[in-house]
Amino acid sequence: AQRVTQPEKLLSVFKGAPVELKCNYSYSGSPELFWYVQYSRQRLQLLLRHISRESIKGFTADLNKGETSFHLKKPFAQEEDSAMYYCALQGTGFQKLVFGTGTRLLVSP
Amino acid sequence: GAVVSQHPSRVICKSGTSVKIECRSLDFQATTMFWYRQFPKQSLMLMATSNEGSKATYEQGVEKDKFLINHASLTLSTLTVTSAHPEDSSFYICSASRGSNTEAFFGQGTRLTVV
C-alpha cells in the first residue's frame, strides 16, 4: 500500500529561521516523490519533485530511501513561504498521486 | 505553467438533486484527469482517474454510480454528483496532466454544499 505521512499539522517559525517539513512514505517499490504548495486562496501547485533535484524558492528535498523520507528544507524562511505544504507519492507505473495530510507553515516576522 | 479551470467554484444545491462540475485544461491537451475530494483540514483523497475516451477508474470505496465522471475530450472532464446528500458536501478538486509521468496541474476547486 502507498502511504504518505506528514507528522506535523502546523509548523510555526520566525523569519530567517531554518525550516524542515517532514515527510515519510511507505511504498515497496521505487516511488517518485513531490512537494506541493497551496498559498492562501490559491490552487495547489507543484513546488518540486525529487527526480529534478532542483532548488525552488530556496527549498530543497532529498529522497532518503533508507529512512523512506523526503523532508522539505529551507535554510532561511521568509514570510511569503507561509502556506500549506503537501508531500505526495507516485508509485512506479501509476499515474495517481497519494497525498499526505499536509503541514501548515507559518512564518512570523 | 498550464492552466486548469474548474466551474463552478462554489455551488449550493438541494438534497436529491444532481450537480455537475466541469474541469477544463485551457492551454494543453489533458490525456488524464484526476478528481479529488478534500474534507476540512484533511488531505486530498483521490476519487477517480479518467483517461480521455475511456471509462474512469474509481478508487476503492467511491461509488461510481453516484459520482459520474465523463472525459469526452482532451480538454474537458466532468464530475456529476447524483442525488446529492448533505454528506456529499465537500471541496472537489480536479487535476490534469498531458500523460504518464508528467506534471499534474490543479484546478482551483469547487466547494459543494448540499442543503
Q: Which three cell numbers stand for residue B47?
A: 476519487
Q: Interior CA angle at A58 toward A86 and A91, to 5°?
A: 35
Q: What is the mean predicted confidence (pLDDT) over A50-62?
A: 86
Q: What is the mean predicted confidence (pLDDT) over B80-101?
A: 92
Interface A:B, Cβ pairs < 8 A: 40
**Does residue B60 sit at the A interface (CB-CB below 8 Å)?**
no
The nearest CA of chain A is from the CA of B67 a distance in Å of 18
What Å distances lie between residue B71 and B25, B68, B105, CA to CA?
A: 12, 10, 16
- Asked whether B4 and B106 are in contact (CB, 8 A), the reply is yes
- Asked whether B113 and B15 are in contact (CB, 8 A), the reply is no
What Å distances lie between residue A16 and A56, A62, A84, B7, CA to CA?
A: 17, 21, 19, 39
**Does residue A86 sit at the B interface (CB-CB below 8 Å)?**
yes
Q: What is the mean predicted confidence (pLDDT) over B77-84?
A: 96
Question: Which pLDDT score, from 0 to 100, does residue A8 have?
Answer: 95
Position B75 confidence tier, pLDDT thresholds 50, 70, 90: very high
- CA neighbor of A6 nearest in space, from A74, A88, A94: A88
